[in-house]
Amino acid sequence: MNLLDTFAEFKELKNINRATMMSVLEDVFRSTLAKKYGTDENINVIINPDKGDFEIWRSREVVADEDLTDPNLQISLSDAQKIDEDYEIGEEVNDEVKMEEFGRRSILALRQNLTSRIMDLEKENIFLKYKDRIGEIVIGEVYQIWKREILVLDDEGNELLLPKNEQIPADHFHKGDSIRAIVVRVEMKNNTPVIILSRTSPIFLQRLFELEVPEIFDGLITLKHIARIPGDKAKVAVESYDDRIDPVGACVGMKGSRIHGIVRELRNENIDVINYTSNLQLFVARALSPAKVISVQILEDEKKANVYLSPDQVSLAIGKGGSNIKLACMLTGYDIEVYREAEETPDEEDVALEEFTDEIDEWVIDEIKKVGCDTAKSVLELPEEELEKRTNLEEETVHEVYRILRAEFE
């Protein structure tokens, strides 16, 4: 029985370099030889992986026939002279060990050991290769579709998994389809590498922008923050390090040419690109785009932002199913509360002081107006003692004025 088939298989492996291959082969042979002879210290293994062959040579010291104690380390003078009649005591004999001497069972065990070591090495190399590729886009071919995941093969035939929860809701693939995704996790389970892909990760969107927008790839524009509801909507905050470059315009492209490819890859996911700013109030306002914000109040300790908008902008700020405000919260890292703010119009419930001339003397009204109060509510906002100090009115008169004005709103 020979090992040529195993050598041929080994030679085809792409992820194992020559030095590692030689080391593994020698190690496997030496362990087998050590079991057979008790030691491998006097054995030299010569491997030729290109041809798929090998040689095993054993070195032994020539001793007198009666002094032979260890047939592995020593050879009797009479046996040595059968190889070459010129050998003398004390010299070293190198003779080749033939695989036939091992026996069928030992050869079978050696081959199984070799195959197992090769597979383990290949698995480890796949694990290390993809461990270094976490966060990178890979392109593969859909090989099998199951209920909970899709099996994808890379260009070397390695198996990758795309779980259901890492797929965009609108994703529908068929066997043989080409697929793009990023590597999110690499694990070892039962000594087998498990490579997990994702199309829902914000990093996948980031990598697509890097592919489509040269300024991002070159470092002129940076993606500061990304928030996604996969397949529905995403918000991307961008910043330019070159004042001559409009980061939003560069990312969108002429007539949307650059962003269109990304949207198509993400199954028509709506993408808002906004200018990043370190001004938190302005950033929160921009994050709620397309809604127009009146004012923003930041509560730093609570990581909260109170946003005030006109009534017709509230639904825009919240978005369909609350998606816009949810993404704004994810993008800014703040819990955003939206409040309706009434438009600045005169208070319809307030009443001018002239309306009370039938109950309050005109000279009293004139005296009150001198201190800047010309409506009922503006008077009631002042304490009675304050109005008394500011005017020449008697305490009783002031008290009566307040009674008449309060009655108007009760």
Are the C-beta atoms of 51 and 121 separated by less than 8 Å?
A: no
- Residue 320 is given by DSSP the state G
pLDDT digits (tens, 9 = 90+) for 88-137: 898 888 888 777 677 777 778 777 887 788 788 888 889 999 999 999 99
Strands 295-299 and 304-309: antiparallel
pLDDT of res. 14: 52
> 226 by DSSP, 3-state: which?
strand
13 residue type, one letter: L
Are the C-beta atoms of 93 and 128 separated by less than 8 Å?
A: no
Strands 221-229 and 192-198: unpaired
| Topology (CATH) of 4-124 | N Utilization Substance Protein A; Chain:P; domain 4 (3.30.1480)
**What value, to the nearest 5°, has the Cα angle with vertex 381 and ends 375 and 385?**
110
pLDDT digits (tens, 9 = 90+) for 208-265: 999 999 999 999 999 999 999 999 999 999 999 888 999 999 999 998 999 999 999 9
Q: Does domain 133-198 have CATH number 2.40.50.140?
A: yes
State the Cα–Cα distance between residues 162 and 63, nearest whole angstrom: 67
pLDDT of res. 274: 95
State the Cα–Cα distance between residues 355 and 363, nearest whole angstrom: 14
State the Cα–Cα distance between residues 143 and 157, nearest whole angstrom: 10
CATH code, residues 277-345: 3.30.300.20
Axis crossing angle, helix 362-369 with helix 395-409, rounded to the nearest 10:
90
User: Rounded to two decimals, what is the model's pTM?
Assistant: 0.67
> 185 by DSSP, 3-state: which?
strand
State the Cα–Cα distance between residues 142 and 139, nearest whole angstrom: 10
Are the C-beta atoms of 61 and 90 separated by less than 8 Å?
A: yes
Domain boundaries in the chain? 4-124, 133-198, 277-345, 353-409
State the Cα–Cα distance between residues 223 and 227, nearest whole angstrom: 11
Q: What is the separation, in whole angstroms, between the first and last Cα of the chain?
A: 109
pLDDT of res. 1: 39
Question: Which stretches in the chain have pLDDT values below 50?
Answer: 1-2, 4, 343-347
* E strand segments, 87-191: 92-96, 137-145, 149-153, 159-163, 178-189
Q: Is 20 left (phi over 0), alpha (psi -120 to 50) or beta?
A: alpha
Closest CA to 230 of 296, 145, 164: 164
> 314 by DSSP, 3-state: which?
helix
pLDDT digits (tens, 9 = 90+) for 387-397: 887 787 888 99
DSSP string over 65-86: GGG---TTTEEEHHHHHHH-TT
